[in-house]
Amino acid sequence: MNKEMLTMRMKGYALTTYGRELKELNNKERYTVFSKALMEDILPKWKASEEKFEGKKKAYYLSAEFLMGRALSNNLINLGYMSEVKEMLSSMGMDYNALEEAESDAGLGNGGLGRLAACFLDSGATMNYSLTGYGIRYNYGIFEQKFVEGYQVEEGDKWLEHGDSWSIRRQDEKVVVDFKDQSVYAVPYDTPVVGFSGETINTLRLWQSEAITEFNFTAFNNQMYDKAVKEKNDAENISKVLYPNDSMESGKILRLKQQYFFVSASLQDLIRTYKKDHKDFTEFSRLHAVQLNDTHPAVAIPELIRLLGKEGVSFKNAFDIAVDTFAYTNHTILKEALEQWSVKLYKKILPEVYAIIVKIDNMLSRQLADKGLTEKEISEFEIISEGNIKMAWLSIYGTHSVNGVAQLHTNILKDTELSGWYNLFPERFNNKTNGITQRRWLLESNPELSAFITELLGHDGWITELSELSKLKKFAEDDTIIERFMRIKKAKKLELKEYIKEREGIEIDENSIYDIQIKRLHEYKRQLLNAFHILYLYNRLKTDKNFDMEPRTFIFGAKAAPGYARAKAIIKFINEIAEVVNNDADINGKIKVVFVENYGVSYAQKLFPAADISEQISTAGKEASGTGNMKFMLNGAPTIGTFDGANVEIVEEAGLENNYIFGLTVEEIEELKAVYDPKAELEKNPVLKSIVNTLIDGTLDLAPEENFKELHDSLIKGASWHDPDNYFIIRDFDAYVEAQERVNEDYKNQLEFYRKGFLNMASAGKFSSDRTIVEYANEIWNIPSITEEDEESLAV
């Protein structure tokens, strides 16, 4: 890194961007000019990286979400510039931490699906694979979450308010995307994805929707001002917001357009570049591996066939090319939760694509008939059924690989939920347990623990080979090592205390147990079970003066989808509990409840390192994998959770004795379903019944028109679309309380408690996204890893 050159560039950008001297800029402006200056270092490396993969097979990751987080620190760490930059900025009188905080989080995702995509891009570059991300450049991302009187209120996430220094608009590579009622430009914005060491820099290409004709002058001249900009507004709506509310048909149409928009643009992009060097498409699948991240991009299968048809490729050949090109990652266990689209909407918006899907469905039926299946058996596999298009069925039939994201998840798909498809195509099904990038979730988020690990190992090889952590297990019996680990944990807890005080205005006790549940708000993730446990502890403290518990801080972070009324009611319920508990002097500060506002990647980087307990309490068989559980583990927090998703593999690695597993198993739930009566369960459990009744009995100080009756009824009566207590909160409650009591008792001997945390950290090596991406590359994509050494040997 050339410090003088970087300084000179910053001064130049200060003048050309803001018309002021560098010293006169505020922190957001300084962040902008610094990142622009740094991009000049990245660009030639980026270009060289692209050139080394020319002519080789490359992978492409199609995802509706990319939850990237802040780029500045991640890029500096991966380039190896961090210490020099901090020193340089300090000599200029600039605070690096202030610049880092000035960067906005790009709200381009809403949970594990989008964060997984971001981790994969990081690992792809670090492991020297060509892996390009394709998605949408949402102007406002998911939404900015505010709490108003305890309710979630959504506001636009203005992450682009001050520009985006990391992306380059490629106007020269825009394409046209056609719907039946509308045509728009898809304009690509390219962002570099820097691998650790900076040897490989890949690309995240996000498409922005823009009008073909932005301004109708004739309409304006006729004083029809709304009509003059209608085409512009309609086009821009497509890339305006991630997951717009689709409770009405207009919202459904917008979502469908979003999915097709980025898929069609991406495939047109691939075909255009391919045609520069090829006259036919016989080599297309040999050079392209396209991964569908869940079913949001499943329309890629018929769209590629449609586009190839326009190039003169027969339907049969185009279908074979599609199967060889595409692979599908399933993130959803339940059949009823798998994405479907109405035939009516497809005919209305994408009639040409629908015609291709009909051909695919007919070909599938003929193939199954040839295998000897009856009409009734064939009907189970129909892609078009009862007026809907089953996107998961399309994804399985139209690809060569179907993978689950944890071993339990994959087993459930093969044995029950997708067993019919597995019996048809057993060779397509495989498991790829999710992972996380240790660069962001340990090296960047927890530099103190990172330095300690490097010291103990005597090298920093764990940064790219996380399995090295297993060598730390030999230190677990050394009390002096565990004491140092404890000091690091307590320092991170103090940091979080100060951050929460600044952000939320709530004072928490750094000596309390930090019990943290941070994830998307959904009923199956059972934030409600956690809330009931808080009320249980509160009631005991109020009624039993001899009740002994360690001080506990319960921290939640979650956004609920704008149209998900029940999830939003759970947020309100937890905030009402916080209002009661946090202001009751009788309990002597034994419990604090904090629901952090606008939870995102940057907040997460403060929360994971400070956690004492990782809440992974989803109903067994409902969570495909989880990645938050891995981030907690990597930062030295034991799991309290069910045998669900990747929790099973976490316990396999770290030991049952170092975690707190409770509740029904998948097999027990299957046996219980037919006879389960939550109302009868409550009659036998008066303590829990009184807690559940707080939803309706006036315990919480709600306005007369407010209540949680619908939430209460979902547990006791069920609803038209599900049985009572569909997620077994009532049945699992006592087991959860017992597991939490074990946490409380173990925490009294902190040396032994934190020994469990240390062993979890030392056992986390399996859960690196580097391992996951190597498995994808070798077992699904068949793409090469190319280092600078490889290039040099080829040149010789």
Pick the catalytic residue: 331, 428, 622, 731?
331
Burial class (CB in 10 A: 0-12, 13-18, 19+), 423: exposed
Q: Which two tokens stand for residue 235?
A: 């086009």
Query: Phi and psi (nearest 5°) for 607?
Result: -80, -45
Task: Give me the catalytic one of 30, 58, 428, 520.
Answer: 520
Rounded Cα gap, residues 669 and 644, in angstroms: 12
SS3 602: helix
**782-786: long-range contacts, CB 8 A cutoff, minimum separation 24:** 782/57, 782/289, 783/56, 783/57, 783/58, 783/59, 783/129, 783/130, 783/131, 783/289, 784/56, 784/57, 784/129, 785/127, 785/128, 785/129, 786/52, 786/53, 786/56, 786/128, 786/130, 786/200
Residue 197 CA to residue 186 CA, distance in Å, equals 33
H, E, C per residue of 482-512: HHHHHHHHHHHHHHHHHHHHHHHCCCCCCCC
Burial of 504 (C-beta count, 10 Å sphere; 0-12/13-18/19+) = middle
- Token pair for residue 532? 């009931």
CB 611 within 8 A of CB 635: yes
**Which amino acid is residue 724, in one-letter code?**
P
Give the end-to-end CA distance of the chain in Å, rounded to a whole number. 29
For every residue of 517-553, DSSP letters joined together read EES---GGGTHHHHHHHHHHHHHHHHH-TT-----EE
Sign for the pseudo-dihedral over CA of 166, 171, 175, 180:
positive
DSSP 407-445: HHHHHHIIIIITHHHHHH-GGGEEE----B-HIIIIIIT
The amino acid that residue 111 corresponds to is G
**Catalytic pick from 126, 332, 627, 639?**
627
Per-position DSSP letters for 145-187, written without gaps between them: EEEETTEEEEE---TTTT--TT-EE-GGG-EEEEETTEEEEEE
Catalytic residue list contains 519: yes
Alpha-carbon gap, residue 320 to 137, rounded angstroms: 31
Residue 684 known to be catalytic: no
H/E stretch holding 756 reads helix 750-762
Question: Which residue, 415, 421, 381, 338, is CA-closest to 666?
Answer: 415
Alpha carbon distance 283, 361 (integer Å)? 26
Beta strands 326-329 and 151-155, pairing class: unpaired
Our answer to whether residue 627 is catalytic in this structure is yes
Q: Of the residues 257, 493, 525, 731, which is catalytic?
A: 525
Assess whether 331 carries a catalytic annotation: yes
User: Helix, strand, coil shares of the chain as percentages rounded to 5?
Assistant: 55, 15, 30
Q: Which of 572, 631, 756, 771 is catalytic?
A: 631
**Which of 484, 495, 323 minimizes the C-alpha distance to 399?**
323
Instruction: Work out the angle at residue 533's Cα, subtended by the Cα atoms of residues 588 and 679, and round it to the nearest 5 degrees.
Output: 140
Residue that is written with structure tokens 């940091």 in the block: 495
The alpha carbon of 778 is separated from its chain's Cα centroid by a whole number of angstroms, namely 24
Q: Could you give the 3-state DSSP secondary structure of residue 328?
A: strand
Angstrom distances, CA of residue 250 to CA of 49, 182, 237, 245, 259: 43, 14, 12, 9, 15
CB 786 within 8 A of CB 52: yes
Element (H, E) at 301: helix 300-310
Among 499, 519, 595, CA closest to 556: 595
| Residues with catalytic function | 331, 519-520, 525, 627, 631
